[in-house]
């Protein structure tokens, strides 16, 4: 049995996700397990959707099909893409999200034009792909070759000498805020030197913590989360609310002044 993961900006108060699950079950003759990942992606927000997909898909077994339905009807000729990477299959809109999920694009990208005269164009594409995958149809025989794909414009950190300016890309359910600064980038700039983290009008955070309990309850901290991205948090508190931090806010990390 394959798994079908579902990520969307559709919410959970309509029939949309239920219809996709039903169509997938029929196409796979009930030999498929739909798994909801996140349907609360902000409307049309491919940056937040890409962050979500990048950080969960590798935890699923090979053969899993990952459907991403966010801002599907992008442009004058909307299309869905099918790609395979490391044994995982991804069905996602051709709206730039593919370049935000993959650092280097998979070699064989298949494209399916969404027929806007169809009552449910996305569902029709999903059904066709699932039927072909269960029939072991070679990838290069599915859909048509995508000669080019839309490019996504994600927020990239600005790197200067002894300084990185990052952007908040995600706020989780606990109010922890995630910044688009990866540990590898951080260490390449600062090595093992101490840093200071500046954000809005708050007092800066001195250095990094290894866990929430490194500071007193109610105190802010900065550490690398399980995705190796920089995270600002408050021990037993909501950093987004208490520190006034929101998606797209800027965070500045600087080399700590040398002690005299």
* CATH code for position 24: 3.40.50.10790
Residue 56's pLDDT is 94
Phi, psi of 163 (to 5 degrees): -155, 140
Residue 259's pLDDT is 66
Q: Taking Cα atoms as reference points, which of 154, 164, 169, 173 lies closest to residue 246?
A: 169
Residue 148's pLDDT is 84
CA distances to 10, 48, 69, 70, 224 from 43, rounded to whole Å, are 8, 10, 10, 7, 28
Residue 18's pLDDT is 95
On whether both 179 and 80 belong to a single domain, the answer is no
On whether both 45 and 130 belong to a single domain, the answer is yes
Q: Which two tokens stand for residue 173?
A: 């359910």
Residue 260's pLDDT is 58
Rounding to the nearest 10 degrees, give the CA dihedral for residues 72, 85, 143, 26: -70
Domain that holds residue 121: 2-145
Cβ neighbours for 166, distance < 8 A, ≥ 6 positions apart: 157, 158, 179, 180, 181, 230, 250, 251, 252, 253
Residues of the chain predicted below pLDDT 70: 153, 155, 259-260
On whether both 179 and 88 belong to a single domain, the answer is no
Query: Is 153 within a domain?
Result: no
- Specify which residues 50 forms β-bridges with: none
Query: Is 30 within a domain?
Result: yes
């Amino acid at each position: 049995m394959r798994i079908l993961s579902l990520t969307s900006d559709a919410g959970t108060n309509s029939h949309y996700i239920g219809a996709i699950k039903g169509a997938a079950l029929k196409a796979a003759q009930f030999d498929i397990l739909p798994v909801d990942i996140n349907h609360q992606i902000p409307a049309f927000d491919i940056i937040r959707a890409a962050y979500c997909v990048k950080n969960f898909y590798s935890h699923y077994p090979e053969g899993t099909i990952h459907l991403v339905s966010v801002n599907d009807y992008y442009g004058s000729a909307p299309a869905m893409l099918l790609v395979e990477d490391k044994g995982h299959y991804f069905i996602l809109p051709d709206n730039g999200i593919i370049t935000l999920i993959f650092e280097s694009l998979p070699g064989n990208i298949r494209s399916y034009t969404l027929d806007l005269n169809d009552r449910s164009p996305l569902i029709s594409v999903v059904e066709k792909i699932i039927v072909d995958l269960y029939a072991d149809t070679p990838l290069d025989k599915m859909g048509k070759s995508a000669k080019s794909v839309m490019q996504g414009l994600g927020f990239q950190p600005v790197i200067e000498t002894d300084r990185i300016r990052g952007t908040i890309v995600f706020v989780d359910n606990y109010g922890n805020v995630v910044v688009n600064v990866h540990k590898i980038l951080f260490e390449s700039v600062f090595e093992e030197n101490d840093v200071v983290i500046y954000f809005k009008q708050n007092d800066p955070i001195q250095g990094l913590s290894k866990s929430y309990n490194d500071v007193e309850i109610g105190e802010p901290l900065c550490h690398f989360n399980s995705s190796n991205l920089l995270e600002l948090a408050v021990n037993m508190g909501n950093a987004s609310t208490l520190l006034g931090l929101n998606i797209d806010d800027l965070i500045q990390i600087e080399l700590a002044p040398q002690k005299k």
